[in-house]
Structure 1
Amino acid sequence: MERWSSFYKQIQKNKMAMIGGYIILFYIIVAIFAPLIAPYDPLEMNLLNKLQPPSLENWMGTDDKGRDVLSRLIYGSQLSLTVGVVSVAIGAFVGIILGLVSGYYGKMVDTVIMRFIDVLLAFPGILLALAIISALGPDLINVMIAVGVFSIPTFARIVRGSTLSTKKMEYVDAIRALGATDFKIMFVHILPNIMSPIIVQGTLRLATAILTAAGLSFLGMGAQPPSPEWGAMLSSGRNFLWNAPHLATFPGLAIAIIVMGLNMFGDGLRDALDPRMKR
């Protein structure tokens, strides 16, 4: 409890991190209670009411199919947060295992794993994701897989570096002398002690994942119509920038605000969890 109390006090000192935390909390609440908050069905069309500007009836206007933009943004938060969390979880799960094995065993095992990571790093993230989706097909599940794959190298390198330094500590030698297996040493004793940089990177990577998923949907490689995904909404809204700018403005703001909030909170986490950053 004392550790969490100290952590919370460190976060409280960082105003930007607190703002970022409140933004994330707001989006989570909206996503969880979307069916209760959304004023209309996000898929319900009304062609007689299409391309209406923001009004008291439709706070953010309607799209080219007469669907309420606010309702679609609210339901879109579920999709975007789910894609971000699942893809980061995939990248973290595989990356942590590869990083632990590479850092712990070293030598040839480390060389093979790191060359594989170098191959993944050789491709820009969005291009690697595009290549994977081109092979698997445009679909939201495939977007999660693609974004998760290009997140693997980041987690693997961080975990490998932390493992290399942690495995040299005396308590690891003592546990090994007592007969603990390599699996137990890696996952029970080393992993819990290197979670801080993983948590920080996971938060920052979540922003990248949401932004990348939206970009893929914008290019038509992610969520398909009529799904109320923010990137897909932004893509369809670009065709009406002159006569209905609200179609692109509100989805763009939704993406920008959550990415900004995650980055601010991630920076605050880094300051609170990394002793070298504490003043």
Structure 2
Amino acid sequence: MNDAPLQPSAGIPVVTETARPASWKTFYRKLAKNKAALAGAFIVLVFVLLAILAPIIAPYDPLKMNIVNKLQGPSAEHWLGTDDKGRDILSRLLWGSRISLTVGILSTLLGATVGIVLGIVSGYYGRWIDSLIMRFCDVLLAFPGILLALAIVSVLGASTTNVIIAVAFFAVPTFARIVRGSTLGVKKLEYIDAIKAMGAKDSRIIFRHILPNILSPIIVQSTLYIASAIITAAALSFLGMGTRPPDPEWGTMLSQGRSYIRQAPHITLFPGLFILLIVVGFNLFGDGLRDALDPKTKK
């Protein structure tokens, strides 16, 4: 059976377009009323701009060492001070934002893509396929995220690329479960039965009618998971299993500065603040997206 335009049949309602969530105007209006979400979006935007403009606005080479100036506190010359090797902390933080955001975004995209495919297949086809995929997800969810990531990186080796793979791997079951539940709800709607009765292929039903209607929870979960991915990546680097020195990754900077926490606390203070701010920003923005995209929200 080909995938030609569907023709109306007697007694079967014609579906001219996919049912959609609230309009964009309603979405923007709800989001604009949420001050916390706007604050989160502003924080995220600032960090994205810092990452993009790091080569231009960073005052020093983040890898250049100057032992004479090591462990200096904040000053007019070095706004956030220097580390144990005399490197400018501000420059390292700006360049490190590129690594942290890249890991967070790429691992989320990779994990979400695989999770969406598994979730839709599981929810749409059901039966033994559903049981097999869900048991696989249960096994992954039985392990704490950081331990599973540590195990994967231990096998693959410590590097930024392997951190992305490890963090993405743990994201798969979370997205798969969310997408499966949403797919089960949409699959039961009458217009899906009507489309099936008119002879539409499964691929057309999935990609043109089911997937567009379950994007809201996917978008929200993606935004929230980026924050978790950044924390996990920083934790792996802190433990020496992530981005390797001398690359300026925030977790690595925390690890290197812990030996000087009494003598020069600024070495760990500022990387910790950057991690805190970016995580809070994504969480606030994600919560705002969830409220704005929820059709049940009246405010």
User: CA–CA distance in 2 between the matches of 1:155 and 1:254?
Assistant: 27
1:270–1:277: 8 Å Cα contact kept in structure 2? no
Residue 198, structure 1, aligned to residue 218, structure 2: yes
Select 1:228's aligned residue among 248, 267, 274.
248
Per the alignment, residue 110 of structure 1 pairs with 130
Amino acid at match of 1:265: F
The structure 1 segments of at least 4 consecutive aligned residues displaced by more than 4 Å after TM superposition are: none
Residue 150, structure 1, aligned to residue 150, structure 2: no
Per the alignment, residue 245 of structure 1 pairs with 265
User: CA–CA distance in 1 between the matches of 2:96 and 2:201?
Assistant: 46
Per the alignment, residue 121 of structure 2 pairs with 101
Residue 49, structure 1, aligned to residue 69, structure 2: yes
Shift of 1:209: 0.4
Larger Rg: 2
Shift of 1:126: 0.5
Per the alignment, residue 180 of structure 2 pairs with 160
Report 1 or 2 for greater relative contact order, CA contacts < 8 Å, sequence distance ≥ 6: 2
Shift of 1:179: 2.1
Per the alignment, residue 68 of structure 1 pairs with 88
Residue 174, structure 1, aligned to residue 194, structure 2: yes
User: CA–CA distance in 1 between the matches of 2:134 and 2:291?
Assistant: 28
User: CA–CA distance in 2 between the matches of 1:103 and 1:213?
Assistant: 31
Q: What's the CA shift string for 1:194-226, capped at 9, x where partnerless?
A: 000000000000100001100000000000000
Amino acid at match of 1:177: A
Q: What's the CA shift string for 1:58-94, capped at 9, x where partnerless?
A: 0000011111000000000000000000000111000
Residue 188, structure 1, aligned to residue 188, structure 2: no
Amino acid at match of 2:134: M
User: CA–CA distance in 2 between the matches of 1:118 and 1:186?
Assistant: 24
Select 1:84's aligned residue among 84, 90, 104.
104
1:272–1:278: 8 Å Cα contact kept in structure 2? no
Amino acid at match of 2:121: V
State, as a whole percentage, how many aligned pairs show the same letter. Answer: 65
> Structure 1 regions of 5+ residues with no counterpart?
none
Instruction: Give TM-score, length-normalised by structure 2.
Output: 0.91
Amino acid at match of 1:210: I
Shift of 1:175: 1.9
User: CA–CA distance in 1 between the matches of 2:136 and 2:298?
Assistant: 35
1:214–1:231: 8 Å Cα contact kept in structure 2? yes
Q: What's the CA shift string for 1:111-158, capped at 9, x where partnerless?
A: 011000001011110100000001101111000000000011110000
Shift of 1:268: 0.5
Report which of the two has the higher share of helix: 1
Select 1:33's aligned residue among 50, 53, 59.
53
User: CA–CA distance in 1 between the matches of 2:297 and 2:104?
Assistant: 27
Alignment of 1:102-141 (within 5 A): 102-141=122-161
Per the alignment, residue 3 of structure 2 pairs with none
For the residue of structure 2 that corresponds to 1:42, the secondary structure is coil
User: CA–CA distance in 2 between the matches of 1:241 and 1:80?
Assistant: 23
The root-mean-square deviation of aligned C-alpha atoms, in Å, is 1.0
> Structure 2 regions of 5+ residues with no counterpart?
1-21
Shift of 1:178: 2.4
User: CA–CA distance in 2 between the matches of 1:95 and 1:20?
Assistant: 26
User: CA–CA distance in 2 between the matches of 1:141 and 1:70?
Assistant: 24
For the residue of structure 1 that corresponds to 2:296, the secondary structure is helix
Per the alignment, residue 20 of structure 1 pairs with 40
1:58–1:68: 8 Å Cα contact kept in structure 2? yes
Shift of 1:277: 3.2
Instruction: Give TM-score, length-normalised by structure 1.
Output: 0.98
User: CA–CA distance in 2 between the matches of 1:4 and 1:58?
Assistant: 45
